[in-house]
Amino acid sequence: MSAESKYETHEYDVLVIGAGGAGLRAAIEASAMGARTALVCKSLLGKAHTVMAEGGIAAAMANVDPQDGWETHFKDTMRGGVFVNNWRMAQLHAQQAPDRVRELERWGAVFDRTHDGKILQRAFGGHTYRRLVHVGDRTGLEMIRTLQEKGVHQGIDVFMECAVTRLLKDGDRIAGAFAYWRETGRYVIFKSKAVVLCTGGIGKAYKITSNSWEYTGDGQALAYHAGAELLDMEFLQFHPTGMVWPPGVSGLLVTESVRGDGGQLRNNKGERFMFKHIPDRYKPQISETEAEANQWIAEIRAGKQPTARKPAELLPRDIVARGIYMEVKEGRGSPHGGVFLDISHMPAEYVKKKLPSMYHQFKDLADVDITREPMEVGPTTHYIMGGIRVNPDTQESAVPGLFAAGEAAGGLHGANRLGGNSLSDLLVFGKLAGEHAAQHAKTAGPPKVDDAQADGAAREMNEFFTRADGENPYQIHAELQDMMQSLVGIFRVEDELRKSLEKLATLKNRAARVCIKEGNKMFNPGWHLCKDLQNMILIAEAVARAAQFRKESRGAHSRLDHPGFNPEFAKVNTVAFKGRDGAMQLEGRPLPEMPAELKQLIETEKNHKERHG
């Protein structure tokens, strides 16, 4: 029997996998261009990670600081990413983000306002000017709800709680995807001329993370197996401020807006330790004394143009995360192994208005009233800068017809992402991916689904039940998380990376025999985890291999055995792909050449930086 008659089959021009900001924006664009568009997601619509984003969307709209413009946003992004970003993506992103935000407003988003009725923007780490468009600390909810409304009224077909396990190919080109319904466990085939992967990140491979169960690296793994390349997987962001107590919420995010709105970091001696960690390249922007930092806070609170430099708490995330880590390691941490983040010096009403969900999160979950007492925070695995390698103008991967956008794609953020640059990334590149996928579908003929591929995909899922003697997936998952946390964490070293790869090989073998003894195919999370585990282990391998390859410290990637930049590695991105023998290959690929005018924009900065670190 042919696969199409055996399995429930749907046919589309464009299949978008993932319904966060990137997927929704891609689907909206594809369908606006006349493509028959399907949107598939593992959770219910509106529950993707994007809903959790707090701080804001970075866009140089210059509503608050009139000096801002795309050039500065571009420079900030490149500097934050320590110059290994894809320059073209950084340029498109900075240029197009303001239009994407305005469009959201036209579709119903209700952002906080300035006194004169424009969209308000707040300060964030690494951004020269106040740039983050926001709604209190629930910007992601505003964004996803707006896109969701726009999408469903535009006739996109949504397949909720449907998980893709394999991409289908017709020769070299993409032919669609194989999935199961979470509710019933029934298999389903999506036949489509173009596929856009917007599946988000990989944080669930780590023990302490701000990420949900969905972040198992599915998109990266699907693309890898389909023949696409994974870029810069060593660049994994540890957000400096996650909750550390109580245990059930450890890793839960504490938004950077707390610092953007005046929050101070202190160790157990009461010292504002970030002033000790200001790299030379940030000195022009960052206060060197507490007095100056406090002046900046007073100025923004009064709604004035700041004359002081920004507090050291607003250095980019990689620097703050390492600063916190060192305080704890050297015995100056808080009782539960973090440091103190304090915003209680600001008026209670201000805190509740600006940070309502943080206020509730700490009050409800940790019995801490942040308007009166400090929070305890520490680094948490948050975001992957690396991802599926794409053409910067079209978002197409190395596989014809396969596109990627959002956190699942790599390139824009280089070695470290600035806060707010993800939500803008989703909008800008979600749109481009949708547009080019629809374009591709216009000229591509109908794909053919290969029966053997579909049957193979079904067999993989069935075997988790039929196998008699395997291990429980939860056990292997816990071991993976512990191992990645301790061996491929904030600080890395050759010995531990080698060990992690050995451990991963063992885990991979054990996971190949994983099985589920309870329940049936109806909404069975244990069964789902059996498959997710394979993806996490694969992606963990890409992270560890890339981390081993890059023998320098850059952005979020810190090698204890190779501190500082290495000029050889400054010239390359890392690329992981499946070799002919089926084993993972890793190589350095020269950075694309930047045009002269952009080079000039960042040259002075860069020289300074390579000299002073």
Partner 1 sequence: MAEVRKFKVYRGDKNGGQLTEYNVQVEPGMVVLDGIHQIQRTQAADLACRWNCKAAKCGSCSAEVNGKPRLLCKTRLDDFDPAEIITVRPVKTFPLIRDLVCDVSWNFEVNKKIPPLTPKKTADWVMHQEDMDRVQEFRKCIECFLCQNVCHVLRNHDLKDRFYGPRFMVRIACLEMHPMDGLDRTKLLKDEAGLGFCNITKCCTEVCPEEIHITDNAIIPLKERVADRHYDPLRAFWRKIMGADHPCTCADGG
The residues that touch ligand FAD, with contacts defined as CB under 6 A, are: 17-23, 40-43, 48-50, 52-56, 139-140, 163-164, 198-200, 210-211, 214, 218, 253, 383, 406-408, 419-423, 426
Q: What is the distance of C-alpha 407 from the center of its chain?
A: 4
CB of 467 to partner 1, least distance (A): 14
Q: Check: CB of residue 261 under 8 Å from CB of residue 392.
A: no
Which residues are registered as beta bridge partners of 396?
Answer: 403
* Marked catalytic residue, from 49, 93, 182, 259: 259
Position of tokens 């959770």? 43
- Would you say 313 and 278 are in contact if contact means Cβ atoms under 8 Å apart? no
Taking CB under 8 A as the criterion, which residues in 217-276 touch partner 1? Answer: 245-249, 252-253
The option from partner 1, ligand FAD, none interacting with 218 (CB < 5 to 8 A, set by class) reads ligand FAD
21 vs 359: CA distance, rounded Å? 25
- Binding flag, residue 141, partner 1 (CB under 8 A): yes
Residue 145 annotated among the catalytic residues of the structure: no
Q: What is the distance between the alpha carbons of residues 323 and 429, in angstroms, rounded to a whole number?
A: 32
Among 75, 100, 138, 609, binds partner 1 (CB under 8 A): 138
- Contact partner at residue 246 from ligand FAD, partner 1, none, CB < 5 to 8 Å by partner kind: partner 1
Tell me whether residue 505 or residue 522 sits nearer to partner 1 (CB atom): 522
Q: How many CB atoms lie within 10 A of CB 244?
A: 27
| Side-chain half-sphere CA neighbours of 51 within 13 A | 11
- C-alpha R_g of the chain: 23
| In contact, 224 and 542? CB cutoff 8 Å | yes
Distance CA 595, CA 571 (A): 15
| Residue whose CB is less far from partner 1, 100 or 440 | 100
Q: Does 469 bind partner 1 (CB under 8 A)?
A: no
Q: What is the 3-state secondary structure (H, E, C) of 259-315?
A: HHCCCEEECCCCCCHHHHHCCHHHCCCECCCHHHHHHHHHHHHCCCCCCCCECHHHC
Q: Which stretch binds partner 1 (CB under 8 A): 147-155, 190-198, 258-266, 542-550?
A: 147-155
> Of partner 1, ligand FAD, none, which one sits near residue 139, judging by CB under 5 to 8 A according to partner kind?
ligand FAD
Strand arrangement of the beta sheet that strand 230-231 belongs to: 387-388, 230-231, 572-578, 584-590
CA-based angle 231:237:242, to the nearest 5? 155
Which residue among 239, 272, 413, 557 is the active-site one? 239
* CB of 190 or CB of 527, closer to partner 1: 527
Find out whether 513 and 469 touch, Cβ atoms under 8 Å: yes
Tell me how far apart the alpha carbons of residues 526 and 472 are, in angstroms, rounded to a whole number: 8
- Whether 36 is catalytic: no
Interaction partner, residue 545 (ligand FAD, partner 1, none; CB < 5-8 Å by kind):
none
With binding defined as CB under 8 A, does residue 519 bind partner 1?
yes
How far is residue 466 CA from its own chain's centroid?
Answer: 35
Cα–Cα distances in Å, from 95 out to 90, 118, 376, 406, 433? 9, 19, 38, 17, 16
Q: Specify the pairing of strand 230-231 against strand 584-590.
A: unpaired
* Residue 570 contacts partner 1 per CB under 8 A: no
Any residues with CB less than 8 A from the CB of 393 and at least 6 apart, and which? 88, 92, 432
Least separation in angstroms between residue 106's CB and partner 1 is 6
> CA 254, CA 317: separation in Å to the nearest integer?
13
Q: What is the DSSP letter of 593?
A: P
For ligand FAD, which is the closer residue by CB, 7 or 569? 7
Instruction: Report the partner that residue 451 touches, choosing among partner 1, ligand FAD, none (CB closer than 5 to 8 A by kind).
Output: none
Binding-site partner at residue 23 among ligand FAD, partner 1, none, CB < 5 to 8 Å by type: ligand FAD
Tell me the residue number closest to ligand FAD, measured at CB. 20
**Which residues 527-546 are close enough to bind partner 1 by CB under 8 A?**
527, 529
Q: Which is closer to partner 1, CB of 99 or CB of 112?
A: 112
- Name which of residues 169 to 228 contact partner 1 (CB under 8 A): 183, 212-214
Question: Ramachandran region of residue 414, left (φ > 0), alpha (ψ -120 to 50) or beta?
Answer: left
Q: Does 498 bind partner 1 (CB under 8 A)?
A: no
SS3 375: strand
Count residues near partner 1 (CB under 8 A): 66
Nearest-approach distance from CB 182 to ligand FAD, in angstroms: 10
Quick check: helix, strand or coil at residue 42? coil
Nearer to ligand FAD, 40 or 516 (CB): 40
Nearer to partner 1, 9 or 472 (CB): 472
Give the integer Cα–Cα distance in Å for 149 and 374.
38
468 and 517 Cβ atoms separated by less than 8 Å? no
Binding partner of residue 22 among partner 1, ligand FAD, none, CB cut-off 5 to 8 Å per kind: ligand FAD
Which residues between 292 and 351 bind partner 1 (CB under 8 A)? none
With CB under 5 to 8 Å by kind, the binding choice for 472 among partner 1, ligand FAD, none is: partner 1
Nearer to ligand FAD, 22 or 375 (CB): 22
- Which of ligand FAD, partner 1, none interacts with 41 (beta carbon under 5 to 8 A by kind)? ligand FAD
**Are 292 and 314 spatial neighbours (Cβ–Cβ below 8 Å)?**
no
Give the shortest CB-587-to-ligand FAD separation in angstroms: 26
Q: Which of 60, 480, 516, 602 binds partner 1 (CB under 8 A)?
A: 516
Measured CA to CA, the distance from residue 548 to residue 68 in angstroms comes to 38
The set of catalytic residues is: 239, 259
Binding site for partner 1 (CB under 8 A): 43-49, 51-52, 102, 105-108, 110, 112-113, 116-118, 135-136, 138, 141-142, 145, 149-150, 152-153, 158, 160, 183, 212-214, 245-249, 252-253, 357, 360-361, 364-367, 472-474, 478, 516-520, 522-527, 529
